[in-house]
């Protein structure tokens, strides 16, 4: 027989899959002997069966009955009786926290009988009827599906009536008398009857069963499904249901309720930290009705409960070996623990707490690594808004906030239309594009803006996806904003405050890491963590100012965990860099070489004309002249790069542009030629000289010949190298000559040559022969001994599928997972991120962009095939990755598992990659400890 119901005395924290997070932790606290109100948990399995069959498993009702009787016996109360009635709360509790998504019903067990008993027992009639009123209201909305505002209107009416009776305006709900509430209950019951055609159930067991079903059903609401899709939580887990004896913090001043943390979750500073509200219930704390008290205040009010709470929290932190948060209630001087979990914390707190716990010998350094994530470190590395608290705390107070969709700190004036953003950017102004939501028409404006702020949409909305794709700071779903494009205003409607009206042209600041929106220009400062990692302690203090302790503690924690990660990781970390400055920076941040130096960027700007000449050349001489002119320029490029990375490997990729990137825009040129011709035909004066027109016409003809329908799949990389004789040879010559020059200067240059877009071993073979011949030629002439490894990108499915053969001609492979993702999925990144991905993330085809985190099933499988089979051919083959995935935490774990030797990422992500590589090496657990 399947067990669907677990008493709190039966479960433990390791059964969260079955009992949900809340149920498992309530059981754990019970096991620890902490004062948890008795109760039981209905398993997620019961929920799954209910959802699959549309009905509870038959056994469930029986097991609930047994558990209920057991509970009644334990607390000496009976459900629904007048004397000592048992009241319970029915709370959802899934494996992963889904705040606000699911349902809770309090005070189950109250009816016309038991409300009397509750009043007598508490000697507080008002309290009892208020509790009953709350039950019907919650039950009506949650279980019976009656719109919540129907009840709140009735409540408002009652408050107005009471106020009028007192000759005044409406009163607050606490001013309602027992009689008022008794009448309100009658009104509520009338609502239930009218809306559902039946009476509010007086049978407490019926209340309970319906509440349980309602919690089960709440798993599958649209918003819950959407939330899970966005948060990448599986849809088939189901939720557990916790049935807990009610305790009351609202029984006068000796009662109260609060939340507390074993350490400060914002900074990580040691010492318990919390909020307490006298004579209140849990939801009052969250609703922020009254100002809360501190734990010190609780100490003053009720020293015994305070002491018990601190002891319980210390016990929990020792037991969970991590920061815990708790919810507690004091009922007439008696402390009850209502919930605990490993607490969420800010990135800075995560690092400080992890190292503090090591120092306290609660966890090992390996474990400490598991307590922080690469994403947390990344957010610490972004430039930040300076958040010096001003005296009144107002300066740093956010105007409103939304979802943090794409990190960074952006400041600019409000524009409401994309074309205005483009125009303003054209004038050199910094703007924030504020839209209700964006669509593909807004792309130009998004590119032109410093940041994007939307009132609607989540992390997978168009704005969020596109902004992340292009690295723009972005905040989405700031729902307090009302954007009126026609009026040119943005109105902020925060509850409990007067609306603030902003106008186009007003300056705002948005924080893409926190989702906060500020009025005015908040100063942006570089991250102290980044400064410390790159330049050491002195850099942190800035303009000679002393470093504050908190910052000092943070940077030391980060540094310490990074060093430990370095000790443990198996993956080497290299950087993608094309210029000496970036290379030097990457090196300071810990890069162990350059894994990808792209040479196409070196061919832009002024040199573009030369490349145009090479590609469009009519004859060999013309091409050779251009190649000869490029050689010394390229030599200098490589010399600088090799010098900056002296002693470390520098992997130089031969030219890999889609052809069209070097050529003039076809439409633009066609328009220019057509307009000029039309002008001349019209007898008017042309704007071009005859020579210019002829040159344009010639270029246009060549462009039409070379035009590619799909440049991403056209003549690029090794294909261009094999079609344009001398191009690769020139580049290789420049590399070797640069290295020879450095060797002569006593340096230790370590260039490696990487061939892009290879799909067949024969391509690599031909280029390798050419490379080796150039290397031999130059080094023999110079009398310098240089070994230059030759490898290839694996960025086409065919390369991965024939890696065992390609390996025979390669000294190393570097997986180009950007392109591999494009071809494996058939996605042109430039196109689909803009046009398709927000739809695909919304409808669940994608849970995350495969360009952000590697698609393990498709692209990842090709990587695994290539790793395994190439190593069979050539056991010592050096394998790395240089796509953007090389800096993505979840992908890094994948690459570690797949057995790569290194990842290469942008210089800025090097510390992130070091940390994640260390984390991957010290565990096989999932990359993120909380969802």
Catalytic annotation, residues: 462, 882
Q: Does 711 bind its own copies (CB under 8 A)?
A: yes
Say whether residue 383 binds its own copies (CB under 8 A). no
Element (H, E) at 626: helix 620-644
The C-alpha angle 66, 67, 72, rounded to 5 degrees, equals 100
* Least distance to its own copies, CB of residue 481, Å: 25
- Binding flags for its own copies, 841-860, as an x/- string (CB under 8 A): --xxxx--------x-xxx-
Indicate which single residue of 428, 667, 875, 924 sits in contact with its own copies (rule: CB under 8 A).
667
Return the residue of 395, 612, 617, 840 that touches its own copies, per CB under 8 A: 840
Q: Which residues of 112-149 are buried (b: 16+ CB within 10 A; e: fewer)?
A: eebbbbbbebbebbbbbbbbbbbbbbbbbbbbbebeee
Q: By the 8 A CB rule, do 181 and 253 touch?
A: no
Q: What angle do CA 764, 765, 766 make, to 5 degrees?
A: 95
Considering only 58-66, 249-257, 368-376, 711-719, which stretch makes contact with its own copies by CB under 8 A? Answer: 711-719
Near its own copies by CB under 8 A, which window of 527-535, 665-673, 737-745, 872-880? 665-673
C-beta closer to its own copies: residue 722 or 743: 722
Q: At what angle do helices 859-873 and 889-898 cross, to 10 degrees?
A: 30
- Closer CB to its own copies, 786 or 836, in the complex: 836
Q: Which range binds its own copies by CB under 8 A, 88-96, 308-316, 528-536, 835-843? A: 835-843
d(CA 154, CA 695): 80
What is the full DSSP assignment across 312-377?
A: HHHHHHHHHTS-EEEEEEEETTEEEEEEEEEPP--HHHHHHHHHHHHHTTSS-HHHHHHTS-HHHH
Is 828 a residue that touches its own copies (CB under 8 A)? yes
Residue 671 found at the interface with its own copies (CB under 8 A) = yes
Residue (of 808, 815, 814) closest to 871 by Cα position: 808
- The window from 236-244, 279-287, 545-553, 715-723 that contacts its own copies (CB under 8 A) reads 715-723
Residue among 547 and 706 whose Cβ is closer to its own copies: 706
3-state helix, strand, coil in the chain (%, to 5): 50, 15, 35
- Counting contacts by CB under 8 A, is residue 706 touching its own copies? yes
As measured in angstroms, the least distance from the Cβ of 168 to its own copies is 51
Cβ(785)–Cβ(779) below 8 Å: yes
| Nearest-angstrom CA–CA distance, 448 and 432 | 9
Compute the least distance from the CB of residue 708 to its own copies, in Å: 4
**Residue selected from 486, 705, 746, 926 as contacting its own copies according to rule CB under 8 A:** 705
Nearer to its own copies by Cβ, of 634 and 817: the residue is 817
| 831: contact with its own copies by CB under 8 A | yes
> Which listed residue (822, 870, 904, 927) binds its own copies by CB under 8 A?
822
Min dist CB 439 to its own copies, Å, is: 9
Closest residue by Cα to residue 729 from 628, 855, 848, 619 = 628
Please pick, from the candidates 709, 746, 785, 876, the single residue that binds its own copies as defined by CB under 8 A: 709
CA distance 516 to 481: 12
Asked if 862 interacts with its own copies (CB under 8 A), we say yes
**String of contacts with its own copies for each residue 683-702, x by CB under 8 A:** -x------------------
Q: Which residue has the tokens 């925060």?
A: 494
> Per-residue b/e over 314-326, b at no fewer than 16 CB within 10 Å?
ebbbebbebbbbb
Under rule CB under 8 A, which residues in 518-577 are in contact with its own copies? none
The site string for its own copies over 407-426 (x = CB under 8 A, - otherwise) reads --------------------
Report the nearest approach of its own copies to the CB of residue 469 (Å). 14
DSSP string, 730-762: HHHHHHHHHHHHHHHTT---EEEEEE-S--SHH
Euclidean distance between CA atoms 853 and 839, whole angstroms:
18
Q: Closer to its own copies at the Cβ: 143 or 233?
A: 233
Binding mask 765-804 for its own copies (x = CB under 8 A): -x----------------------------xxxx--xx--
What's the farthest any 2 CA atoms get from each other in the chain? 106
3-class DSSP state for residue 435? strand
Q: Is 824 in the site for its own copies (CB under 8 A)?
A: yes
Beta strands (DSSP E) in 563-658 are 572-576, 594-598, 649-653
**Could you tell me the smallest distance in angstroms from the CB atom of residue 682 to its own copies?**
5
Which of 347/860 has CB closer to its own copies?
860
What does residue 170 show for φ and ψ, rounded to 5 degrees? -60, 150
Residue 712, interface with its own copies (CB under 8 A)? Answer: yes
Which one among 259, 645, 652, 715 touches its own copies, defined by CB under 8 A? 715
Indicate the helix (H) or strand (E) that contains 482.
Answer: strand 481-484
Rounded Cα–Cα distance for residues 162 and 176 (Å): 7
Please, are residues 654 and 732 in contact by the beta-carbon 8 Å criterion? Answer: yes
Minimum separation from the CB atom of position 122 to its own copies (A): 53
> How many angstroms separate the CA atoms of 838 and 796, rounded?
26
> Quick one: CA dihedral 422, 427, 432, 435, positive or negative?
negative
Q: Which of 711, 730, 770 is nearest to 623 (CA)?
A: 730
Is 795 annotated to bind a ligand? Reply is: yes
Tell whether residue 653 is among the known ligand binding residues: yes
Nearest to 325 by CA among 300, 295, 298, 301: 295
Judged by phi (left if over 0) then psi (alpha if -120 to 50, else beta), residue 333 lies in: left
Closest C-alpha among 820, 815, 823 to residue 754: 815
Shortest CA distance to 220 belongs to which of 95, 17, 48, 93? 48
Q: Which of 443, 539, 743, 784 binds its own copies (CB under 8 A)?
A: 443
Q: Give the residue, chosen from 31, 679, 699, 871, that forms a contact with its own copies under the rule CB under 8 A.
A: 679
Q: Which of residues 91 and 229 has its CB atom nearest to its own copies in the complex?
A: 229
Judged by CB under 8 A, which of 145, 234, 440, 523 binds its own copies?
Answer: 440
How many residues belong to the site for its own copies (CB under 8 A)? Answer: 64
Cα angle at 655 between 652 and 659, to 5 degrees? 160
Give me the 164-203 binding string for its own copies, x by CB under 8 A, dash otherwise.
----------------------------------------
Q: End-to-end distance of the chain based on CA atoms, in angstroms?
A: 32
CB of 667 to its own copies, least distance (A): 4
State how far the Cα of 43 lies from the Cα of 31, in Å rounded to an integer. 18
Residue in 149, 622, 708, 897 binding its own copies, rule: CB under 8 A: 708
**Which one of residues 386, 675, 781, 925 is an interface residue with its own copies (CB under 8 A)?**
675
Chain positions 716 to 775 lying near its own copies, rule: CB under 8 A, are 719, 722-723, 757, 759-760, 762-763, 766
Among 450, 461, 817, 823, binds its own copies (CB under 8 A): 823
**Residue 818 assigned ligand-binding role:** yes
Mark out the alpha helices in 197-258 (DSSP H runs).
204-218, 222-231
* Residues constituting the chain: 931
- Tokens for 244, please give them: 């807990």
Using CB under 8 A as the binding rule, whether residue 713 contacts its own copies is answered as yes
Q: Does 447 bind its own copies (CB under 8 A)?
A: no
Residues annotated in a binding site:
598, 653, 795, 816-819
Residue ranges that bind its own copies, judged by CB under 8 A? 440-441, 443, 666-667, 670-671, 674-675, 678-679, 682, 684, 705-706, 708-715, 719, 722-723, 757, 759-760, 762-763, 766, 795-798, 801-802, 805, 819, 822-828, 830-832, 835-836, 839-840, 843-846, 855, 857-859, 861-862
Residues annotated in a binding site for substrate:
598, 653, 795, 816-819
Residues annotated in a binding site for Mg(2+):
795, 819
């Amino acid at each position: 027989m399947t067990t669907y119901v677990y008493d709190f005395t039966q479960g433990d924290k390791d059964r969260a899959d079955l009992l949900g997070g809340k149920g498992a932790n309530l059981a754990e606290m019970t096991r620890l002997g902490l004062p948890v109100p008795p109760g039981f948990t209905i398993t997620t399995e019961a929920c799954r069966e209910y959802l699959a069959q549309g009905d509870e498993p038959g056994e469930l009702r029986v097991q609930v009955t047994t558990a209920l009787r057991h509970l009644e016996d334990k607390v000496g109360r009976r459900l629904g009786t007048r004397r000592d009635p048992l009241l319970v709360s029915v709370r959802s509790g899934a494996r992963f926290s889904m705040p606000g998504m699911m349902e809770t019903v309090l005070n189950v067990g109250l009816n016309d009988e038991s409300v009397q008993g509750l009043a007598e027992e508490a000697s507080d009639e008002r309290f009892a009827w208020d509790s009953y009123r709350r039950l019907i209201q919650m039950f009506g909305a949650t279980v019976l599906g009656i719109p919540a505002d129907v009840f709140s209107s009735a409540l408002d009416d009652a408050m107005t009536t009471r106020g009028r009776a007192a000759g005044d305006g409406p009163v607050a709900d606490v001013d309602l008398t027992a009689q008022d509430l008794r009448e309100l209950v009658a009104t509520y019951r009338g609502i239930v009857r009218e809306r559902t055609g039946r009476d509010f159930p007086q049978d407490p067991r019926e209340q309970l069963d319906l509440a349980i079903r309602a919690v089960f059903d709440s798993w599958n609401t649209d918003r819950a499904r959407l939330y899970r899709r966005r948060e990448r939580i599986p849809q088939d887990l189901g939720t557990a249901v916790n049935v807990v004896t009610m305790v009351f913090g609202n029984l006068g001043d000796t009662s109260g309720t609060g939340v507390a943390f074993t350490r400060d979750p914002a900074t990580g500073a040691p010492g318990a930290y919390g909020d307490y509200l006298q004579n209140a219930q849990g939801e009052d704390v969250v609703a922020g009705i009254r100002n809360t008290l501190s734990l010190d205040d609780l100490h003053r009010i009720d020293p015994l409960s305070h002491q018990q709470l601190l002891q319980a929290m210390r016990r929990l932190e020792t037991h969970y070996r991590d920061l815990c948060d708790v919810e507690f209630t004091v009922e007439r001087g008696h402390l009850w623990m209502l919930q605990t979990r490993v607490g969420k914390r800010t990135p800075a707190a995560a690092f400080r707490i992890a190292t503090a716990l090591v120092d306290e010998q609660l966890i090992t350094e390996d474990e400490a690594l598991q307590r922080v994530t690469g994403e947390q470190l990344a957010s610490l590395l972004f430039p930040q808004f300076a958040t010096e608290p001003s005296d009144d705390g107002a300066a740093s107070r956010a105007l409103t906030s939304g979802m943090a969709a794409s990190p960074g700190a952006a400041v600019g004036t409000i524009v409401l239309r994309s074309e205005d953003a483009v125009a303003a950017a054209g004038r050199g102004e910094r703007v924030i594009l504020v839209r209700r939501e964006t669509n593909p028409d807004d792309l130009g404006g998004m590119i032109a803006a410093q940041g994007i702020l939307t009132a609607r949409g989540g992390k997978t909305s168009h704005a969020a996806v596109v902004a992340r794709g292009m690295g723009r700071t972005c905040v989405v779903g700031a729902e307090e904003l009302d954007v009126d494009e026609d009026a040119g205003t943005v109105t902020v409607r925060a509850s409990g405050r007067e609306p603030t009206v902003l106008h186009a042209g007003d300056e705002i600041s948005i924080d893409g890491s926190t989702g906060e929106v500020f009025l005015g220009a908040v100063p942006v400062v570089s991250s102290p963590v980044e400064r410390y990692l790159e330049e050491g302690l002195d850099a942190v203090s800035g303009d000679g100012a002393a470093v504050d302790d908190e910052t000092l503690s943070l940077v030391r924690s980060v540094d310490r965990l990074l060093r430990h990660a370095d000790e443990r990781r198996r993956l080497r970390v290299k950087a993608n860099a094309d210029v000496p400055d970036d290379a030097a920076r990457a090196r300071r941040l810990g890069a162990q070489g350059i894994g990808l130096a792209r040479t196409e960027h070196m061919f832009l700007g002024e040199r573009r004309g030369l490349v145009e000449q090479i590609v469009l050349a009519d004859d060999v001489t013309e091409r050779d002249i251009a190649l000869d002119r490029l050689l010394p320029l390229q030599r200098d490029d490589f010399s600088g790069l090799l010098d900056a990375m002296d002693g470390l490997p520098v992997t130089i990729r031969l030219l890999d542009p889609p052809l069209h990137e070097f050529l003039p825009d076809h439409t633009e040129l066609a328009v220019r030629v057509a307009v000029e011709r039309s002008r001349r035909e019209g007898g008017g004066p042309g704007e071009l000289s005859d020579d210019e027109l002829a040159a344009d016409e010639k270029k246009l003809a060549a462009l039409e010949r070379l035009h590619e329908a799909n440049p991403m799949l056209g003549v690029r990389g090794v294909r261009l190298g094999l079609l344009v004789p001398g191009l690769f040879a020139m580049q290789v010559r420049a590399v070797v000559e640069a290295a020879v020059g450095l060797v002569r200067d006593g340096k230790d240059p370590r260039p490696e040559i990487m061939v892009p877009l290879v799909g067949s071993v024969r391509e690599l073979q031909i280029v390798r022969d050419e490379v080796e011949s150039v290397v031999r030629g130059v080094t023999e002439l110079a009398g310098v001994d240089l070994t230059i490894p030759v490898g290839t990108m694996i960025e086409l499915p065919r390369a991965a599928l024939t890696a065992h053969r390609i390996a025979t001609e390669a000294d190393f492979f570097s997986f180009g997972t950007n392109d591999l993702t494009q071809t494996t999925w058939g996605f042109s990144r430039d196109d689909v991120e803009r046009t398709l991905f927000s739809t695909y993330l919304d409808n669940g085809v994608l849970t995350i962009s495969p360009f952000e985190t590697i698609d393990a099933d498709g692209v990842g499988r090709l990587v695994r095939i290539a790793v395994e089979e190439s190593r069979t051919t050539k056991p010592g083959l050096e394998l790395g990755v240089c796509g953007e995935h090389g800096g993505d935490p979840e992908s890094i774990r994948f690459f570690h598992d797949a057995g790569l030797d290194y990842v290469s990422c942008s210089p800025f992500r090097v510390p992130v990659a070091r940390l994640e590589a260390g984390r991957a090496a010290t565990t096989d657990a999932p990359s993120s400890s909380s969802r």
